[in-house]
């Protein structure tokens, strides 16, 4: 029997007052089962990350931290978005946990997959992906857009684990490597496979949101998708060059055609062709500039090296220090 290890479960929460009681209950149950099985130590923790919620989320987390030994939380100073909230939680948790699981607050991901992830970790995997084996509960729109996105990403040469989102387990070492990727524009799904180490997959059925509404409107989803593409691939810029060559080729053809027509004296007034080329080329140019602009904007944001999140209060670290002090005494 290997020695029990300390587990952290990071849960990003943005206005999740409706689901938190149930999430707290189910995750606590999972932790206490694992503690009873002697797989994890009893100082293992749930780390709720309040991503600048405007409802009662933080006061609930604060309350749980007092009444539940396994609960703790980190409060961000404002809304930084899902990916940064995850990173903030992983930063705190990986300081003292041997492995960190990240899971959404809405219980769409099956908490019963966590013990399976723990087993894979005990078998030596450092990254364990939660992979959903059905997406029946997502709207067909979300399913189709997600499928299209994975296709485009694959085509652009970005390695992703299909149908895995941000539900996964990472060893302390893998977390540290992840945190050493310093980019401000975060797309964790793309970075985690780059971390390497032995990995495994755990399959689970994705459920309906337990309560409340999705905090990922189309606008945020598109932003995540564009971010995913432009932080991992420069294929769009290369495509602009190919497009440029194609258009130059076409115009050489047109030039020859025009000269031949002129020699034969068939010159027409040429209004339609002028109009079409002005609009078509104008459009192509605008698109190309905007693609380049997207990357320039990215560089602009990255070179500033702004903090990716700001922690207002870290109950996880407060509790951990207290527990360590008690042990010493
Ligand atoms: N979330 C967050 N910050 C945000 C948006 C969402 O921390 O700005 C959290 C949210 O509380 C949830 C998780 O990210 O725990 C996933 O969000 P949601 O379930 O709304 O997304 P969906 O499952 O619809 O893609
Ligand atoms: Mg959800």
Query: What is the whole-number distance in angstroms between the Cα of residue 57 and the centre of ligand 2?
Result: 16
Q: Is residue 120 within 8 Å of 81, Cβ to Cβ?
A: no
- Please identify, by atom number, the ligand 1 atom nearest to the C-alpha of residue 86: 7
Pairing outcome for strands 164-171 and 199-204: unpaired
The CA–CA distances, whole Å, from 272 to 249, 258, 268, 285 equal 21, 14, 10, 20
Q: Which of 106, 96, 133, 148 is nearest to 14 (CA)?
A: 106
Q: Which of 93, 160, 82 is nearest to 314 (CA)?
A: 93
Do 42 and 162 lie in one domain? The reply is yes
Reading the chain (329 residues) residue by residue, the pLDDT tens digits are 468 889 999 999 999 999 999 999 999 999 999 999 999 998 999 999 999 999 999 999 999 999 999 999 999 999 998 999 999 999 999 999 999 999 999 888 889 999 999 999 999 999 999 988 876 666 777 778 778 888 887 777 777 777 778 899 999 999 999 999 888 777 888 888 888 898 888 888 877 777 777 777 777 778 877 877 787 777 787 788 788 778 878 878 888 888 888 788 776 667 667 777 777 787 778 888 888 888 888 888 778 788 889 999 999 999 988 888 887 65
Do 24 and 165 lie in one domain? The reply is yes
What is the CATH classification number for the domain harbouring 60? 3.90.550.10
Mutate to test the pocket of ligand 1, among 18, 49, 106 (most ligand atoms within 8 A of CB): 106
Assigned domain for 219 exists = no
Q: What is the pLDDT of residues 219-240, one digit of tens each?
A: 777 887 787 778 777 778 778 8
Query: What is the whole-number distance in angstroms between the Cα of residue 209 and the centre of ligand 2?
Result: 6
Do 123 and 32 lie in one domain? The reply is yes
Do 76 and 126 lie in one domain? The reply is yes
- Please identify, by atom number, the ligand 1 atom nearest to the C-alpha of residue 80: 8
Q: Is residue 92 within 8 Å of 9, Cβ to Cβ?
A: no
Query: What is the whole-number distance in angstroms between the Cα of residue 109 and the centre of ligand 2?
Result: 8
Cα–Cα dist 115/126, whole Å: 15
The CA–CA distances, whole Å, from 283 to 215, 272, 276, 287 equal 34, 17, 11, 6
Domain that holds residue 155: 7-214+309-328
Q: Which of 20, 119, 108, 11 is nearest to 60 (CA)?
A: 20
Structure tokens at 264: 């034969």
Assigned domain for 15 exists = yes
Q: Lay out the sheet containing 7-13: strands in order across.
A: 199-204, 127-132, 164-171, 99-102, 7-13, 45-50, 71-76, 311-314
Assigned domain for 249 exists = yes
Do 131 and 174 lie in one domain? The reply is yes
Assigned domain for 222 exists = no
The rounded radius of gyration (Å) of the Cα atoms in the chain is: 25
Mean pLDDT, the chain, whole residue set: 85
Do 193 and 248 lie in one domain? The reply is no
Query: What is the whole-number distance in angstroms between the Cα of residue 3 and the centre of ligand 2?
Result: 34
Q: What is the pLDDT of residues 279-302, one digit of tens each?
A: 778 777 888 888 888 888 888 877
Number of domains forming the structure of the chain:
2
Question: Hey, what's the torsion of the CAs at 202, 208, 213, 216, to 10 degrees?
Answer: 40
User: Is residue 28 exposed (0-12), middle (13-18) or buried (19+ Cβ within 10 Å)?
Assistant: middle
């Amino acid at each position: 029997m290997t020695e029990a290890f300390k587990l952290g479960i990071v849960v990003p929460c943005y206005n999740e007052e409706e689901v938190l009681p149930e999430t707290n209950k189910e995750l606590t149950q999972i932790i206490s089962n694992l503690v009873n099985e002697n797989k994890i130590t009893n100082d293992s923790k749930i780390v709720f990350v309040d991503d600048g919620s405007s409802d009662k989320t933080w006061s609930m987390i604060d309350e749980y931290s007092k009444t539940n030994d396994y609960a703790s939380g980190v409060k961000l100073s404002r809304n930084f978005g899902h990916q940064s909230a995850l990173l903030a939680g992983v930063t705190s948790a990986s300081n003292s946990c041997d492995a960190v699981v990240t899971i959404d607050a809405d219980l769409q991901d099956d908490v019963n997959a966590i013990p399976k992830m723990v087993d894979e970790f005990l078998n030596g995997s450092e990254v364990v992906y939660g992979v959903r084996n059905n997406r029946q509960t997502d709207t067909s729109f979300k399913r189709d857009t997600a499928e299209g996105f994975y296709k485009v990403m694959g085509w652009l040469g970005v390695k992703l684990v299909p149908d895995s989102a941000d539900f996964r387990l990472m060893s302390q070492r893998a977390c540290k490597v992840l945190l050493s990727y310093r980019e401000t524009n975060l797309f964790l799904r793309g970075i985690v496979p780059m971390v390497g180490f032995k990995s495994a997959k755990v399959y689970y059925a994705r459920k309906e949101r337990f309560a409340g509404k999705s905090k990922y409107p189309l606008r945020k989803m598109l932003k995540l998708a564009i971010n995913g593409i432009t932080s991992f691939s420069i294929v769009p810029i290369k495509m602009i060059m190919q497009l440029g060559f194609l258009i130059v080729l076409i115009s050489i053809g047109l030039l020859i055609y025009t000269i031949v027509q002129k020699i034969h004296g068939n010159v027409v007034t040429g209004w339609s062709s002028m109009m079409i080329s002005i609009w078509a080329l104008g459009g192509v140019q605008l698109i190309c500039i905007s693609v380049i602009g997207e990357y320039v904007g990215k560089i602009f944001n990255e070179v500033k090296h702004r903090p990716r999140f700001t922690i207002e209060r870290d109950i996880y670290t407060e509790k951990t220090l207290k527990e360590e002090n008690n042990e010493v005494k």
